[in-house]
Structure 1
Amino acid sequence: MAEYLSPGVYIEEIDAGPRPIAGVSTSTAGMVGVTARGPSSGKPKLVTSFLEFQNTFGGFLPEPAATVRDTWANDPAEGGRWWLFPLAVKGFFDNGGQRLYVKRVVSARAVPSSGTLGRGLVSPVAADAARGARGLQLGHLIGFSGVGQQVQILRGDDQQAIHTARIASYDRTGRRIVLDTPLPAEVRTARGDYVQVGTRSTEAGLRFAAVSPGAWGDAARVRIQPVVSAALPVLPDPQEGALFVTRLLADADADSATVDVASVTGLDPDDLPGEVWAQIGDVRYPVQVGQPAAGTVRLTFPANTPHPAWQAGLGVRRVRRGNVATGPKLRIGGASRLYPGAVTQFDDGAALTVRRVAAIDADLVTFDGDVPGTCYETDRLHLVEAQVDTRYADATGAQVTESFGGLRLTGDADTGLPSVLAARSQLVRATALPGLSTDPAEFPVPAIGSWLALEGGDDAYPGLSVADFTGTDGGSGRRTGIVALEDIDEVSVCAVPAMWSGTVESALVTHCELLRDRFAVLDPQDGLDLEGIQAFRERFDTRYAALYYPWLVTRDPSVNRDVEVPPSGHLAGIYARVDVERGVHKAPANTVIRGIRAVDGIAQDVTKRHQDLLNPKGINALRFFPGFGQRVWGARTLSSDSSWKYINVRRLFLFLEESIDEGTQWVVFEPNDEALWALVRQTVTNFLTTVWRSGALAGTTADEAFFVACDRTTMTEDDLANGRLICVIGVAPVFPAEFVIFRIQQKTRETQTA
């Protein structure tokens, strides 16, 4: 209760009336199956279209080797055609499904593709160069030493040497080098040509592995190269004094020995060292400052200093030194971007020098060696880190490319290379090895070329077992197989397409019965006749699953031919479509099946006489009707309890139970008295009234459709003493018109009298 201790006006917010219950989604599906690639650990992954499924899990699977295929396809008890899983997913989206959680199944013996990098320095060619040219545009100049360094240019396809030369000059900003001798042949970027400095070491420094097991990873490529992730300004040494910014007072001839500038604050020779540096235009020059006179100061250049002609009004500013004396310290703007061990690069125009950060104190940075030469406040210190590029292309032509920059090679920081790839990459993971070096001249590189091709991946399909489908419970985020669907509360329909294994389907049914918020769609073995499907159905008695017969026929784009596929994926999509268009109370039947062959899209003909045998046993038929197409013609569960024989009734109650469960969590630990009971009654009544108005409940009035009781008649003193609030709810579901009967009789004409 609020306290009122002093006079004043108090504004309070209070809850009034019942809290609304939001109906949960019933159109979200979960499926477990074998895919070409994709995450095999963690929670099931949400995909919202078949294209998204292909991008994440790959495309269609080829039929496995005959020995593996026959082992599974010819086993009536524990078999399946798991390689049809992507076609079932396509059937889900073809039939109106919108949200699907997929859990990838992999063999316990499957291994990921991997590759190891050694050490060296390579830089890719960034622009084509013709024969006879001397200039080369490169991907980077990090790790290069500068003028006079020998480099080798190699072809990217066969790794043959094109040319060996020395660097005559370079432009670090433009990432361009000029060779001392012309190229004897053309250089091409499309071929993957690159420049190599020195030789490569085979000492392992970094290991990459595909993000998940399987042979798919053999098509993945990885490249790592140093990049400048920050250009930090050098700050002037405190001993340098003030800055001046002025302008030319008169035109100056080319190569003139002096220029006159306007006298400004800070431009006083008594406060300046004997020689200062001034930037005129875009070039820095050493100058002597003369005594100011009548608002004019004369700047004198050293003898024979060349410069262009300048016009009056051109800007002139002092450029202060960053380090007055030789030493390992330098003041750097934005030093917070640096860290101990960070690799940096200095550029004095003739040489590129690498230094590591030893310590940081505010903006004063200490390096592991003396700062090379004199630095000025217009100079930049370049922070060198790593960039990882990955690419992947499967047999269908689908491509995935990634690029991650600003990565630290070592350390456990969030920006560390292994951490970033673990959090963001869909293709690879990285592990640092003892031989890893942060020296840009010994950066991780493959044995040949600039891209590392992963290899050694194996799906190990011969080792695949039903245990891989049923899965294990390692806790949230570490579950596998069917058990992993428990991590996703939103799933309301689940399936393991193309698996008729008794162990797998029993595990799926048990999963639904334990969680009590989802419904399973089961697949029979393909090719069963009427006696076979009836025998197959005998193993089940559950109100949480349905069985459909027979299989369907669709086009497999990967082999460009028609194949038989399990019905569960298509039916899960139909469930979702009917739920969205009509509601969960509508039986998912008398609905056209999409995504199958227009003619003979159902693998076996089912006639009315056939269905007379199947329907009473809860086997839902898929049938063809001339003029009406290929339709779902059954809506029964696999329960022997007649109260729960209809799919829509079972799923309606799942919807009501889950919605009320999630919408009344606020009741827990509230004072258990009449006021709370009334609030609970009103909350549930309001929700059920909305459900009734949508047509989901029978009755012409709300009182006929449901009742809600929560009072002394539903609870005893013992219940209250033990903290129990009991609310009794009764609803009248709408049953489907499964048998439409018109009774027609002859009527005798009656004579009308006047």
Structure 2
Amino acid sequence: MPEYLSPGVYIEEVDAGPRPIAGVSTSTAGMVGVTRSGPAGGKPKLVTNFLEYQTVFGGFVPEPDRPTRDRWAGDPAEGGRWWLFPLAVKGFFDNGGQRLYVKRVVSGDALPASGRLGQGLVSPVARDAAAGATVLELGHLVGFTGTDRIRIFRGGDDVEIGAAAITAYTAATRRIVLDTPLASAVKAGRGDYVQVGDRSDAASLEFFASSPGSWGRAVQVRIQPSVSAALPVLPDPAEGALFVTALAEDAAENSPTVVVNEVTGMDGLPADVWVLINNRRFKVTVGAPADGRVELTLADPVHAPWKAGLGVRRVRRATAGAGSELRIGGAGQLYPGAVTQLDTGDAYTTLNVVSVAGDLVTFDADTPDLVFETARLNLVEATVDTRFTEPGGSPVTETFGGLRLAGTGPGSVAATLAARSKLVGATPLADLSADPAAFPVPATGSWMTLTEDGTDGYDTLSTDDFVGADGGSGKRTGIVALEDIDEIAVCAVPGVWAGTVESALITHCEQLKDRFAILDPQDGLDIEGIQGFRAAFDTRYAALYYPWLVVRDPSTGQFVEAPPSGHLAGVYARVDTERGVHKAPANVVIRGIRATDGLAQDVTKRHQDLLNPKGINALRFFPGLGQRVWGARTLSSDSQWKYVNVRRLFLFIEESIDEGTQWVVFEPNDESLWALVRQTVSNFLTTVWRGGALAGTTADEAFFVTCDRTTMTDDDIANGRLICVIGVAPVFPAEFVIFRIQQKTRPV
């Protein structure tokens, strides 16, 4: 109860009237099957079109080796053609399906492909260069010293095509100047690269495919050092002010002194002052100002002639000598253990960060003797590139930058790939080095193909893999994993007719009581054979369709027989969307099959006279009407539940009421609550009736809702039970349309 303790105006929100019930989706399907790739663990993945399915789970599954194929296809009791699963998924979307949850089945012996990297320093060529050129642009300069000797290799066959020493470099453009002209042309598009020193086979980093299977043997991965941040080096506070001036008069070649214009900041300077003239650094002594001019004496007067007006700029030192500390602008981007490369303009020095305090950074080694404010401290991290091309599909590429090479914490290569990559994962190994000159590299080239392991294990695949095991939420496998997705309303295991699997699928639906199964018979059965196959089932939660379908396999261009369950799940979804779950999913054209002879066996009316009473739904061809679903019965012996649409209508109503009345739990169990429940359910059923799902010319004829003292005893109320009795009159399909015609005598 609200409290009123002092005079005033109180605004209160009061719930009034019944709460609406939203109808649940009935067109979301769930399928379990063998895919070429894709996640093997976790919850089933949602795909909304066949292209998305191919992106997540790969393309079409090749037929296994003959012994494995014959073992499965030749077993009438526990067999199946599970390699046809992608064709069933395609059939689902061809027939109007929009949402499909897929759970991949893998053998316990399946292994992911993997590969290990050694150590070395490799940088790809970033721009073509002609033979005779002395300048080369690289992908990065991380790990270089600036005076390295490099070897140039041709991409593809890894043949050495040249060698030279670096005489100068430009960090901004990543260009190096060579002491020897190139002996032959260098091409970036070919994958040419340079290498410093030799490579070591010391295992530094292991990459592995994100899921088991031979598909991973086509995955390629590359890891390169990269500069995540280029931070300015700050001058020592004792260095004083900065000045920028210009030559006041011409200076002859190798003149020991130059005269510059006097500007603010030229007084109170230390004994050693350094200036930049014509992009060269000179140590100078600053004389006393006279008549607005100042004479600078050069310690090393070796230079070209200079004209008056040439800019002269002071550069301040960051350190007066070797030490392990520098003041860095933007030091907050650094962290203990970070690998950095100090670029002084003429050389690179690798330093590891020990600590960061404000802008003061402490390293694990001394810096060079002289470091100026023009230097830059580069934060060295890693960039991982992956690529994979599914046979007959489009290439998939990934790039992840700004990664920490070592460790498994947030931001590391291992953690980032585990969370974001769809292709690979990584594990740091014992010989992983923080030195950029010993970065992880393959034995040859710059890309590594995952050639180790990568097996499908199809020869040990069993029905238990399809049934699955319950390891808890997100850790379930096979059919059991469909329990993780509450939205699933139709489920199937396409191409598998094994009794163990189909019994598990039926049990799954009967236990959850919110979904319906579509079963596949064995392929190639005749009329007697399909009747024998059907005899083993009696359930109101499943339907069986006959015969198989003839579809085109895009991977081979050939027509093959495919299980009907995937196409029928799409038909269910299409009818639910266009008409409603109360409409029988029958007398509907089957899409995505061969235009003529799209059914593996012909079913005539006389054949169906035998099949229909036993709950076997026929797929038939009618001239001028195409190939259609011509049956809508469940596999139940109970005549009340013999129609698919009636069973699924009740599933829809039950699930909608269940989800829409959760607010009732723990409310005071009295007459006011009962009235709200009655009105809430009645409003929902009125909407269902008006949509054509219930029989009757009035709402009273279509349904009743009772929730009062007649449905509950005092004992029920005392034990916390609220009992609401609901009756609905479903619409039944017009399965037998009969027109009785007689002769009429003309009246005299």
Which stretch of structure 1 is more off in the superposition, 339-348 or 296-305?
296-305
2:152 corresponds in structure 1 to: 153
* One-letter amino acid matched to 1:362: G
1:50 corresponds in structure 2 to: 50
- Counting only pairs closer than 5 Å after superposition, residues 349-498 of structure 1 correspond to structure 2 as 349-455=345-451, 456-498=453-495
2:185 corresponds in structure 1 to: 186
Q: Distance in 1 between matches of 2:400 and 2:492?
A: 37
CA deviation after TM superposition for structure 1 residue 607, in Å: 0.8
* One-letter amino acid matched to 2:389: A
Instruction: Check 1:310–1:37 CA distance in 2 against 1; reply closer, same or farther (3 A cut).
Output: farther
1:555 corresponds in structure 2 to: 552
Q: Distance in 2 between matches of 1:242 and 1:665?
A: 73
Contact 1:289 1:297 in 2 (8 A): no
2:717 corresponds in structure 1 to: 720
* One-letter amino acid matched to 2:409: A
CA deviation after TM superposition for structure 1 residue 397, in Å: 4.2
CA deviation after TM superposition for structure 1 residue 464, in Å: 0.8
* One-letter amino acid matched to 2:592: G
Which contiguous aligned blocks of 4+ residues in structure 1 show a shift greater than 6 angstroms?
Answer: 279-285, 290-294
1:168 corresponds in structure 2 to: 167
Contact 1:239 1:324 in 2 (8 A): no
* One-letter amino acid matched to 2:36: A
Establish whether residue 509 from structure 1 lines up as the match of residue 506 from structure 2: yes
Q: Distance in 2 between matches of 1:285 and 1:602?
A: 88
Q: Distance in 2 between matches of 1:491 and 1:578?
A: 16
* One-letter amino acid matched to 1:178: V
Identify which of 706, 723, 738 aligns with 1:741: 738
* One-letter amino acid matched to 2:695: A
* One-letter amino acid matched to 1:627: G
Partner-residue secondary structure (3-state), 2:121: strand
* One-letter amino acid matched to 1:580: T
Q: Distance in 1 between matches of 2:663 and 2:612?
A: 43
2:697 corresponds in structure 1 to: 700
- Counting only pairs closer than 5 Å after superposition, residues 564-643 of structure 1 correspond to structure 2 as 564-643=561-640
Contact 2:353 2:361 in 1 (8 A): yes
Establish whether residue 332 from structure 1 lines up as the match of residue 333 from structure 2: no
Contact 2:262 2:289 in 1 (8 A): no
1:135 corresponds in structure 2 to: 135
Q: Distance in 1 between matches of 2:3 and 2:327?
A: 57
Q: Distance in 2 between matches of 1:136 and 1:588?
A: 67
1:229 corresponds in structure 2 to: 228
How many residue pairs get aligned? The number is 741
Which stretch of structure 1 is more off in the superposition, 63-72 or 252-261?
252-261
1:257 corresponds in structure 2 to: 258
CA deviation after TM superposition for structure 1 residue 193, in Å: 1.8
Q: Distance in 2 between matches of 1:526 and 1:13?
A: 63
* One-letter amino acid matched to 2:222: R
1:5 corresponds in structure 2 to: 5
Contact 1:714 1:726 in 2 (8 A): yes
TM-score by length of 1: 0.94
Contact 2:321 2:369 in 1 (8 A): no
Instruction: Check 1:251–1:297 CA distance in 2 against 1; reply closer, same or farther (3 A cut).
Output: closer
* One-letter amino acid matched to 1:205: S
Which stretch of structure 1 is more off in the superposition, 623-632 or 62-71?
62-71
Deviations 1:94-133 (A, max 9, x none): 0011111111111111111111111111111122222222
Contact 2:36 2:58 in 1 (8 A): yes
2:203 corresponds in structure 1 to: 204
Partner-residue secondary structure (3-state), 2:645: helix
* One-letter amino acid matched to 1:269: D
Q: Percent identity?
A: 70
Q: Distance in 2 between matches of 1:19 and 1:277?
A: 80
Q: Distance in 1 between matches of 2:26 and 2:259?
A: 85
Contact 1:269 1:290 in 2 (8 A): no
CA deviation after TM superposition for structure 1 residue 194, in Å: 1.3
Partner-residue secondary structure (3-state), 2:589: coil
Q: Distance in 1 between matches of 2:613 and 2:641?
A: 13
CA deviation after TM superposition for structure 1 residue 410, in Å: 1.4
Contact 1:697 1:731 in 2 (8 A): yes
Q: Distance in 1 between matches of 2:679 and 2:290?
A: 93
Instruction: Check 1:323–1:677 CA distance in 2 against 1; reply closer, same or farther (3 A cut).
Output: farther
Instruction: Check 1:322–1:737 CA distance in 2 against 1; reply closer, same or farther (3 A cut).
Output: same
Deviations 1:718-737 (A, max 9, x none): 11211112122111111111
Unaligned runs of 5+ in 2: none
1:656 corresponds in structure 2 to: 653
Establish whether residue 239 from structure 1 lines up as the match of residue 238 from structure 2: yes
Partner-residue secondary structure (3-state), 2:575: helix
CA deviation after TM superposition for structure 1 residue 324, in Å: 3.8
Instruction: Check 1:471–1:169 CA distance in 2 against 1; reply closer, same or farther (3 A cut).
Output: same
- Counting only pairs closer than 5 Å after superposition, residues 290-305 of structure 1 correspond to structure 2 as 298=294, 300=296, 302=298, 303=301
Contact 1:543 1:637 in 2 (8 A): yes
Partner-residue secondary structure (3-state), 1:457: strand
Which stretch of structure 1 is more off in the superposition, 472-481 or 179-188?
179-188
Q: Distance in 2 between matches of 1:483 and 1:309?
A: 84
* One-letter amino acid matched to 1:696: A
Contact 1:287 1:299 in 2 (8 A): no
CA deviation after TM superposition for structure 1 residue 157, in Å: 2.0
Partner-residue secondary structure (3-state), 1:322: strand
Partner-residue secondary structure (3-state), 2:30: strand
Instruction: Check 1:570–1:328 CA distance in 2 against 1; reply closer, same or farther (3 A cut).
Output: same
Contact 1:261 1:299 in 2 (8 A): no
CA deviation after TM superposition for structure 1 residue 273, in Å: 2.6
Instruction: Check 1:184–1:21 CA distance in 2 against 1; reply closer, same or farther (3 A cut).
Output: same
Contact 2:245 2:260 in 1 (8 A): no
RMSD across aligned positions (CA) = 2.2
Q: Distance in 1 between matches of 2:472 and 2:305?
A: 74
Partner-residue secondary structure (3-state), 2:372: coil
Contact 1:402 1:425 in 2 (8 A): yes
1:99 corresponds in structure 2 to: 99
Which stretch of structure 1 is more off in the superposition, 57-66 or 566-575?
57-66
* One-letter amino acid matched to 2:423: L
Instruction: Check 1:273–1:609 CA distance in 2 against 1; reply closer, same or farther (3 A cut).
Output: same
Contact 1:290 1:297 in 2 (8 A): no
1:646 corresponds in structure 2 to: 643
CA deviation after TM superposition for structure 1 residue 172, in Å: 2.0
CA deviation after TM superposition for structure 1 residue 285, in Å: 6.3
Contact 1:275 1:286 in 2 (8 A): yes
Which stretch of structure 1 is more off in the superposition, 370-379 or 494-503?
370-379
CA deviation after TM superposition for structure 1 residue 261, in Å: 5.3
Q: Distance in 2 between matches of 1:291 and 1:674?
A: 103
CA deviation after TM superposition for structure 1 residue 277, in Å: 4.9
Q: Distance in 2 between matches of 1:223 and 1:109?
A: 28
Instruction: Check 1:716–1:152 CA distance in 2 against 1; reply closer, same or farther (3 A cut).
Output: same
Contact 1:257 1:305 in 2 (8 A): no
Instruction: Check 1:169–1:704 CA distance in 2 against 1; reply closer, same or farther (3 A cut).
Output: same
Q: Distance in 2 between matches of 1:431 and 1:179?
A: 37
Instruction: Check 1:178–1:281 CA distance in 2 against 1; reply closer, same or farther (3 A cut).
Output: closer
Instruction: Check 1:320–1:564 CA distance in 2 against 1; reply closer, same or farther (3 A cut).
Output: same
Deviations 1:419-465 (A, max 9, x none): 11111111111111111112111111111111111122111111111
Unaligned runs of 5+ in 1: none
Q: Distance in 1 between matches of 2:250 and 2:709?
A: 106
Q: Distance in 2 between matches of 1:79 and 1:700?
A: 50
Instruction: Check 1:514–1:254 CA distance in 2 against 1; reply closer, same or farther (3 A cut).
Output: farther
Instruction: Check 1:549–1:146 CA distance in 2 against 1; reply closer, same or farther (3 A cut).
Output: same
Q: Distance in 1 between matches of 2:18 and 2:288?
A: 87
2:59 corresponds in structure 1 to: 59
Contact 2:582 2:645 in 1 (8 A): yes
1:29 corresponds in structure 2 to: 29
